[in-house]
Amino acid sequence: MPGPVSGLTLRILPRWRLPAVDHHTLAWRAAVFLMVCAVCWPVQVYGLNSSFLEGGMARGIVVAAPLLLQLALLRYYVLRHIRPRPWALMISGALGSLLLLASALQAYDLYMYVFGKDGSATVVEQRTREVTPGSEPTQFCVVRLPDGSRDELRESGACPGAPGDRFLAVYDPANRVAPSLGTLASLDPGAAMGLGAGGMAVMIVTVGVVVRRAEDAPPPARSAVPTGA
């Protein structure tokens, strides 16, 4: 039987019930959903911050596809047997997905805080190119990093100085993400961790409500055993 549900929860959520289901099956679906949410987060981080994705459309696909996958799994995998449709749970699932996306937007600081290094960047030249076909040209500053490699600063716009000028910068020795002006001390990794933890907490509560309010499947009926005359 479902566990205790507070009066506030009953006022907020519609009074639906899941048909009698096997709790092990439902819990497994919930676990799969949470694992997919956890895997989607680094994919979105990669799409938003990687230097290897140049086109805006490619970034948009890598960021939007995990978001749509999460909502589709919640709607058609975890909640598919519920009548009437629990839109309150769909809204909470969408909120959790948006929090995870917001965390991915802030993940650059977290990544650099863990893997980045302080160094000096030397201005090489300023480039102008179209971010997406048909868009207005955008300026980017090319700098030389301490390891001798060249990369564009993460921040678009004019170079902070003339060619040859040196500035403090945070860079990734593996060259997975673009460098940025500043130091490790100026980064804010807490925003990404807080938003990510909040998003996963919302997802856990959402599927937890489903599991707690589901009814146990009735035990299989025993066939009658004929008695001897």
pLDDT in tens, the chain (229 residues): 444 444 544 454 444 454 445 567 777 888 888 899 888 888 888 877 776 555 567 777 888 888 889 888 888 888 776 666 677 778 888 899 899 988 988 888 988 998 999 999 999 998 887 766 667 788 889 999 998 989 888 887 888 889 999 999 999 988 888 899 999 999 988 989 999 999 999 988 888 877 776 655 445 555 545 555 4
Q: Structure tokens of 147?
A: 């390891």
Secondary structure of residue 205 in the 3-state scheme: helix
How far, in Å, CA of 176 to CA of 137, rounded?
Answer: 24
Q: Structure tokens of 192?
A: 């990404």
Phi and psi angles of residue 171, each rounded to the nearest 5 degrees, phi first: -135, 160
Give the amino acid at 62: V
What's the whole-model pTM score? Answer: 0.70
Choose among 110, 122, 109: nearest CA to 169.
Answer: 122
What is the C-alpha radius of gyration for the chain, rounded to an integer number of angstroms? 25
Contact 111, 218 (CB under 8 A): no
Contact 182, 120 (CB under 8 A): no
79 C-beta neighbours (distance < 10 Å), count: 22
Secondary structure of residue 106 in the 3-state scheme: coil
Can you give the pLDDT at residue 27? 77
Can you give the pLDDT at residue 16? 46
Burial 148-157 (b: 16+ CB within 10 A, else e): eeebbbbeee
